Amino acid sequence: MPNKNNEAHRMLTIEVIYATPEQQKLITIEIAHGSNVEQCIQQSGVLTEFPEINLQETKVGIFSQVKPLNHQVQDGDRIEIYRPLIADPKAVRRKRAEQAKAKK
Protein backbone atom coordinates (compact mmCIF):
# COMPACT_ATOMS: atom_id res chain seq x y z
CA MET A 1 0.00 0.00 0.00
CA PRO A 2 1.49 3.41 -0.99
CA ASN A 3 2.55 5.68 1.82
CA LYS A 4 0.73 9.03 1.47
CA ASN A 5 3.63 10.86 3.12
CA ASN A 6 6.07 9.56 0.51
CA GLU A 7 3.70 10.49 -2.34
CA ALA A 8 3.32 14.06 -1.04
CA HIS A 9 7.11 14.52 -1.24
CA ARG A 10 7.54 12.79 -4.59
CA MET A 11 8.81 14.91 -7.46
CA LEU A 12 7.18 14.80 -10.88
CA THR A 13 8.96 15.27 -14.21
CA ILE A 14 6.96 17.59 -16.47
CA GLU A 15 7.64 19.10 -19.89
CA VAL A 16 6.51 22.60 -20.84
CA ILE A 17 6.45 23.39 -24.55
CA TYR A 18 5.86 26.61 -26.48
CA ALA A 19 6.45 27.29 -30.16
CA THR A 20 6.62 30.42 -32.25
CA PRO A 21 6.91 30.42 -36.04
CA GLU A 22 10.68 30.83 -35.57
CA GLN A 23 11.45 28.39 -32.76
CA GLN A 24 10.21 25.68 -30.45
CA LYS A 25 11.11 25.60 -26.77
CA LEU A 26 10.84 22.41 -24.71
CA ILE A 27 11.67 22.74 -21.02
CA THR A 28 11.81 19.78 -18.63
CA ILE A 29 11.26 20.53 -14.96
CA GLU A 30 10.85 18.65 -11.71
CA ILE A 31 8.01 19.83 -9.53
CA ALA A 32 6.33 18.65 -6.35
CA HIS A 33 3.46 16.19 -6.45
CA GLY A 34 0.15 18.10 -6.29
CA SER A 35 1.33 21.01 -8.48
CA ASN A 36 -0.90 22.50 -11.14
CA VAL A 37 -0.41 23.61 -14.75
CA GLU A 38 0.14 27.26 -13.85
CA GLN A 39 2.79 26.44 -11.25
CA CYS A 40 4.66 24.32 -13.80
CA ILE A 41 4.57 27.09 -16.41
CA GLN A 42 5.80 29.63 -13.85
CA GLN A 43 8.63 27.37 -12.67
CA SER A 44 9.72 26.56 -16.24
CA GLY A 45 10.80 30.16 -16.92
CA VAL A 46 9.03 30.19 -20.29
CA LEU A 47 7.13 33.36 -19.33
CA THR A 48 10.43 35.20 -18.85
CA GLU A 49 11.75 34.02 -22.19
CA PHE A 50 8.47 34.75 -24.01
CA PRO A 51 6.89 37.75 -22.23
CA GLU A 52 4.15 37.93 -24.88
CA ILE A 53 2.46 34.91 -23.28
CA ASN A 54 -0.56 36.05 -21.26
CA LEU A 55 -1.84 33.12 -19.23
CA GLN A 56 -5.15 34.86 -18.59
CA GLU A 57 -5.91 34.84 -22.33
CA THR A 58 -3.82 31.95 -23.67
CA LYS A 59 -5.15 28.41 -23.80
CA VAL A 60 -2.99 25.66 -22.38
CA GLY A 61 -3.29 21.91 -22.52
CA ILE A 62 -1.77 18.56 -21.79
CA PHE A 63 -1.16 16.27 -24.76
CA SER A 64 -3.54 18.29 -27.01
CA GLN A 65 -6.36 18.40 -24.43
CA VAL A 66 -7.19 21.94 -23.26
CA LYS A 67 -6.93 22.19 -19.46
CA PRO A 68 -7.53 24.96 -16.90
CA LEU A 69 -4.51 26.51 -15.18
CA ASN A 70 -5.51 24.89 -11.87
CA HIS A 71 -5.48 21.35 -13.34
CA GLN A 72 -3.25 19.08 -11.24
CA VAL A 73 -0.41 17.58 -13.28
CA GLN A 74 0.71 13.97 -13.36
CA ASP A 75 4.21 12.60 -13.76
CA GLY A 76 5.24 12.68 -17.43
CA ASP A 77 2.68 15.30 -18.55
CA ARG A 78 3.61 17.63 -21.41
CA ILE A 79 2.07 21.07 -20.92
CA GLU A 80 1.49 22.89 -24.19
CA ILE A 81 1.01 26.65 -24.39
CA TYR A 82 -1.08 27.45 -27.45
CA ARG A 83 -0.67 30.55 -29.59
CA PRO A 84 -3.84 32.19 -30.91
CA LEU A 85 -4.83 31.16 -34.44
CA ILE A 86 -4.12 33.79 -37.06
CA ALA A 87 -6.85 32.54 -39.39
CA ASP A 88 -9.91 30.36 -38.88
CA PRO A 89 -9.02 26.89 -40.28
CA LYS A 90 -12.54 26.43 -41.69
CA ALA A 91 -12.37 29.74 -43.54
CA VAL A 92 -8.94 28.84 -44.98
CA ARG A 93 -10.22 25.46 -46.24
CA ARG A 94 -13.32 27.10 -47.73
CA LYS A 95 -11.21 29.70 -49.54
CA ARG A 96 -8.85 27.02 -50.87
CA ALA A 97 -11.82 24.98 -52.15
CA GLU A 98 -13.30 28.05 -53.85
CA GLN A 99 -9.96 28.79 -55.56
CA ALA A 100 -9.64 25.19 -56.77
CA LYS A 101 -13.21 25.30 -58.11
CA ALA A 102 -12.51 28.59 -59.94
CA LYS A 103 -9.45 27.07 -61.67
CA LYS A 104 -11.52 24.25 -63.23
pTM here is 0.75
- Identify whether the C-beta of residue 62 lies closer than 8 Å to the C-beta of residue 79: yes
CA angle at 19 for the pair 55 and 54, rounded to the nearest 5°: 15
Q: What pLDDT is stored for residue 49 in this prediction?
A: 94
Q: Which residues of the chain have pLDDT under 50?
A: 1
Contacts (Cβ under 8 Å, ≥6 apart) of 49: 25
The domains of the chain, with CATH numbers, are 4-103 (3.10.20.280)
Q: What pLDDT is stored for residue 70 in this prediction?
A: 97
Q: What pLDDT is stored for residue 56 in this prediction?
A: 92
Q: What pLDDT is stored for residue 100 in this prediction?
A: 78
